[in-house]
């Protein structure tokens, strides 16, 4: 990552990040927080503990002389994938850890929080950078925590709602998609080193854009329903071969969490339970395969990540439907002009690969991003579950092309 000054407020920043995590689980029972609904997801309790382990290991253990581990058994339980940190509990067995209890994990958090805050002023810069990294790391897990708990509740036949739904403000349907044109040109993308970024966003480098247009908004639920109604899921011509195999094998015929209502319309499951879809809101919980097929059906394509970043560079990444507090986050319709941040992560057509000159960080945190650079596609822009302030134009998220339990959506592009 690229780290610079934390002139004021690292303690405040740390506190506010840590508090939000606690708020997100405030309505979860011990069982809600302990069960793992699939191998891709982790229990909420595990997210709470793993983010704490990150601070305890890379800050307290490595930089606070005399620090004694809160519990010597926790590194084995709560290391995620850092090979350099030794053996760890199998990822797909995280749901077996009913002990420690949720209360004990919250106690672990409190103890580590106190130790970090106590040590913070005296920490060397490298350790303060790790505190800042840990905050960004925890923000990533806040988003995963929300999407994982949504996935868990979706498995329960009684479809529990964690929160009451947000008040729905009547919104006009968005008008036709507009297109932002861009001529062929050399431009620069990647993080410029001003403020925090993850290692995979660097180095900033020149890239060549071909002439293209990019949509000024994402695809809506209503548009997606038209794709379904037109037989989009049944026509192999729109689909990548791997995507078509996935559609057939898993009997995919709609976005994740969509179900037909008795009246023939569609419902979706969300953190506020099962409700009718909002045709004006951005479609979400679609895979790359679905996004690509939709684009093909629409006579368009997905943008590259460079096209996306060039288009988004002029917008404020802190404006939009992003996560501010615990609650029933979901994509929402907007009547405003072009927006690139929040609501849904937007699948790009770019495979997640290193930028020219990319180098992983030294040490265990060097495992942060580089080793995942095969088989995944880049997503951009953040979602309604991304903490406000977490994303930026250069931010690269990545998932496998079949995954869709995140708040993922679609923006179209086309060649000029």
Residue numbers at the binding site for its own copies (CB under 8 A): 29-35, 37, 45, 73, 76-77, 81, 83-84, 89, 93, 95-102, 152-153, 155-158, 160, 184, 186, 205-208, 210, 212, 236-237, 239-244, 288-289, 292, 301, 349-351, 353-354, 356-357, 371-375, 377, 401, 415
Q: Among residues 4 and 359, whose Cβ is nearest to its own copies? A: 359
Q: Among residues 260 and 353, whose Cβ is nearest to its own copies? A: 353
Helical H segments across 156-281, by residue range: 221-229, 241-250
Tell me the HSE value of 274 on the side-chain side, using a 13 A CA sphere. 17
**Taking the CB of residue 75, how many other CB atoms lie within 10 A of it?**
19
Q: Among residues 41 and 322, whose Cβ is nearest to its own copies? A: 41
Helical H segments across 25-73, by residue range: 44-55, 62-63
CA distances from 6 to 9, 123, 386 (A): 7, 12, 22
Q: Nearest approach, Cβ of 44 to its own copies (angstroms)?
A: 10
Q: Which residues contact 61 (CB under 8 A, 6 or more apart)?
A: 67, 69
What is the pairing mode between strands 408-409 and 345-351?
A: parallel
Q: Nearest approach, Cβ of 412 to its own copies (angstroms)?
A: 15
Distance CA(102)–CA(29), nearest Å, equals: 8
Q: Nearest approach, Cβ of 130 to its own copies (angstroms)?
A: 20
Q: Among residues 101 and 260, whose Cβ is nearest to its own copies? A: 101
Q: Nearest approach, Cβ of 30 to its own copies (angstroms)?
A: 4
Closest by alpha carbon to 121, among 1, 289, 280, 8?
Answer: 8
Q: Among residues 176 and 356, whose Cβ is nearest to its own copies? A: 356
Q: Among residues 85 and 318, whose Cβ is nearest to its own copies? A: 85
Q: Nearest approach, Cβ of 193 to its own copies (angstroms)?
A: 18
Q: Among residues 16 and 156, whose Cβ is nearest to its own copies? A: 156
Asked if residue 250 has a cis previous peptide bond (ω within 30° of 0), the answer is no
What residues are paired with 275 via a beta bridge? 268
147 exposed, middle or buried (CB, 10 Å; 0-12, 13-18, 19+)? buried
Q: Among residues 196 and 244, whose Cβ is nearest to its own copies? A: 244
Alpha carbon 326 to chain centroid, angstroms: 16
DSSP 130-166: HHHHHHHHHHHHHHHHHHHHHHHHHHSTT---SSPPP
Q: Nearest approach, Cβ of 280 to its own copies (angstroms)?
A: 30
Q: Among residues 239 and 395, whose Cβ is nearest to its own copies? A: 239
Q: Among residues 17 and 35, whose Cβ is nearest to its own copies? A: 35
Q: Nearest approach, Cβ of 371 to its own copies (angstroms)?
A: 4
Q: Nearest approach, Cβ of 101 to its own copies (angstroms)?
A: 5
Q: Nearest approach, Cβ of 232 to its own copies (angstroms)?
A: 15
Contacts 24+ apart (CB under 8 A), 332-335: 332/166, 332/171, 332/278, 332/281, 332/282, 332/384, 333/171, 333/173, 333/174, 333/220, 333/278, 333/280, 333/281, 333/282, 334/171, 334/174, 334/217, 335/171, 335/172, 335/174
Phi, psi at 253, each rounded to 5°: -145, 10
Distance CA(247)–CA(184), nearest Å, equals: 36
Q: Nearest approach, Cβ of 89 to its own copies (angstroms)?
A: 6
Distance CA(244)–CA(247), nearest Å, equals: 5
């Amino acid at each position: 990552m690229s780290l610079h000054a934390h002139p004021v407020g690292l303690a405040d920043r740390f506190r506010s990040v840590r508090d939000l995590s606690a708020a997100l689980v405030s309505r979860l029972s011990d069982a809600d927080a302990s069960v793992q609904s699939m191998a891709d997801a982790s229990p909420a309790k595990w997210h709470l503990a793993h983010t704490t382990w990150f601070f305890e290991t890379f800050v307290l253990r490595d930089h606070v002389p005399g620090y004694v581990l809160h519990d010597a058994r926790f590194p084995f339980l709560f290391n995620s994938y850092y090979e350099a940190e030794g053996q760890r509990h199998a990822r797909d067995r995280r749901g077996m850890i009913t002990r420690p209890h949720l209360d004990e994990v919250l106690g672990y958090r409190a103890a580590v929080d106190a130790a970090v805050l106590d040590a913070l002023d005296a920490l060397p810069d490298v350790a303060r950078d790790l505190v800042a990294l840990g905050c960004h790391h925890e923000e990533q897990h806040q988003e995963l925590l929300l999407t994982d708990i949504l996935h868990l509740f979706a498995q329960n036949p009684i479809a529990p709602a964690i929160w009451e739904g947000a008040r729905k403000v009547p919104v006009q349907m968005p008008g036709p998609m507009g297109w932002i044109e861009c001529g062929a040109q050399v431009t620069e993308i990647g993080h410029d080193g001003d403020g925090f970024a993850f290692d995979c966003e660097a180095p900033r480098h020149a890239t060549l854009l071909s002439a293209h247009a990019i949509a000024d908004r994402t695809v809506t639920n209503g548009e997606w329903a038209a794709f379904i109604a037109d037989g989009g899921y049944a026509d192999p011509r729109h689909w990548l071969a791997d995507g078509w195999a996935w559609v057939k094998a898993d009997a995919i015929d709609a976005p994740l969490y969509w179900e037909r209502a008795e009246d023939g319309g569609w419902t979706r499951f969300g953190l506020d339970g099962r409700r009718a879809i909002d045709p004006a809101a951005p479609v979400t919980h679609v895979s790359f395969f679905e996004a690509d097929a939709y684009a093909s059906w629409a006579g368009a394509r997905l943008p590259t990540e460079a096209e996306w970043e060039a288009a988004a560079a002029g917008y404020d990444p802190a404006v939009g439907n992003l996560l501010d507090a615990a609650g029933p986050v979901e994509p929402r319709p907007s009547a405003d002009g072009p927006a690139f941040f929040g609501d849904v992560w937007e699948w790009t057509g770019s495979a997640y690969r290193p930028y020219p000159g990319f180098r992983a960080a030294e040490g265990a945190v060097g495992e942060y991003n580089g080793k995942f650079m095969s088989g995944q596609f880049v997503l951009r822009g953040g979602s309604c579950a991304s903490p406000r302030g977490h994303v930026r134009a250069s931010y690269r998220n990545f998932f496998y092309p079949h995954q869709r339990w995140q708040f993922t959506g679609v923006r179209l592009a086309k060649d000029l």
